Amino acid sequence: MEVRLEAPGPERDDIKVEVVDDHLRIAGEKDVERAHREGEHHVAECAYGRFARLFPLPAPVKTNSAKATYRNGVLSVTLEKAGRSRRIHIEVQNG
């Protein structure tokens, strides 16, 4: 099964993905600052925030084959159905 989540802004290391009991939990934090000049004006934009989503899983998943990639603001998590797992942490890779 695959879960895709649009999450523009955060760095890969600021996204945490884990399976807890029968749920997939995705959480992250973004801290983006941009500054540029427009003619005689200096323009600064800031975007800060946290997010978290909890998705119920339709079946238990394998702990050793879970994968997560993050590319162009989209997080993709791939899980295989398997026996019961209590909690696993999934490292997010560059896509």
The domain segmentation of the chain, as residue ranges, is 2-94
pLDDT, averaged across the chain = 85
The alpha carbon of residue 42 and the mean position of all alpha carbons in its chain are separated, in whole angstroms, by 32
pLDDT tens per residue across span 78-91: 998 876 556 677 88
> pLDDT for 25-76, tens place per residue?
999 998 877 888 888 888 888 778 898 999 998 888 887 788 999 999 899 9
Strand partners, 30: 49
2-94: what fold?
Immunoglobulin-like (2.60.40)
Q: Considering the chain, what percentage of its residues have pLDDT values greater than 70?
A: 95
